[in-house]
Amino acid sequence: MEAAAHGYVAVDHRFLKAILDRPEQAISDLVRFAAADHHDEAVDLEQTLLDIFRSLSTPQALPFLVATVRSDPHDVADELVESLVALGSAAIEPLLELLNELSDPGDVPFVLSELRVRDPRILEMLQQRLAVDPFDAALCLEIYGDPAAIPALKDTLGRIPDDDRSRRQIEATLESLASNIAPAAESPEPFDIWELYPDKDLPALDKLSDAERLAMLERGSAEIRAGVAESYGGSEPPLAVRARLLDLAKSDPDLAVRGAAWEALGEISDEPEVRRAMLEVLRDSHSSIEEKGGVVVALAQQADNPLVTKAIESLYDEPRGRAKALKAMARSLDRRFAAFPPKHLDDSDPEIKRQAIWGVGYLGLSSEAPRLEPFFADHEFRSDALFAYALSVPGDTSRGRVQALLNKIEDAADGFGVDEETLVKIALDQRLMLHGAKPVFFPDETEMEEEPQPVASSKVGRNDPCLCGSGKKYKKCCGA
pLDDT tens digits, one per residue of 150-176:
999 999 999 988 888 899 999 999 999
Q: Which runs of consecutive H residues, i.e. helices, occur in 195-349?
A: 210-219, 222-231, 239-251, 255-264, 272-283, 289-298, 306-316, 322-332
Contacts of 433 (CB under 8 A, 6+ apart): 439, 448
**Integer Cα distance of 426 and 213 in angstroms:** 29
Helix ranges restricted to H, 46-196: 46-56, 62-71, 78-86, 92-101, 108-115, 120-128, 134-144, 150-157, 166-178
DSSP state, 465? B
Q: How confident is the model at residue 457 (pLDDT cuts 50, 70, 90)?
A: very low
| CA separation for the pair 329, 359 (Å, rounded) | 7
- Reply yes or no on whether the pLDDT at 373 is more than 50: yes
CA distances from 250 to 45, 288, 294 (A): 37, 12, 12
Q: How many helices (H) and strands (E) does the chain have?
A: 24, 0
Given the candidates 2.60.40.10, 1.25.10.10, 3.20.20.70, 3.40.50.460, the CATH classification of the domain at 2-178 is 1.25.10.10
For the stretch 300-314, pLDDT in tens is 999 889 999 999 999
Backbone phi and psi for residue 473, each to the nearest 5 degrees, phi listed first? -70, 145
d(CA 143, CA 47) in angstroms, rounded, equals 27
Distance separating alpha carbons of residues 191 and 83, to the nearest angstrom: 10
Return the higher-pLDDT residue of 181 and 105.
105
User: Mapping DSSP to helix (H, G, I), strand (E, B) and coil, where does residue 199 land?
Assistant: coil
CA atoms within 13 A on the CB side of 211: 0
Which residues 6+ apart lie within 8 Å of 245 measured at CB?
Answer: 217, 229, 232, 237, 261, 264, 265
Q: Residue 458 pLDDT more than 80?
A: no
- What's the DSSP call for residue 163? T
Residue 350 is classified by DSSP as H
Summarised one tens digit per residue, pLDDT across range 64-81 is 999 999 999 999 999 999
Domains of the chain, by residue range, sit at 2-178, 223-337, 339-480
- pLDDT value at position 349? 97
pLDDT digits (tens, 9 = 90+) for 191-203: 999 999 999 999 9
More confident residue, 261 or 37: 261
Burial class of residue 347, CB neighbours in 10 A (0-12, 13-18, 19+): middle
- Residue 317 CA to residue 391 CA, distance in Å, equals 27
pTM: 0.74
Question: Rounded mean pLDDT of the chain?
Answer: 90
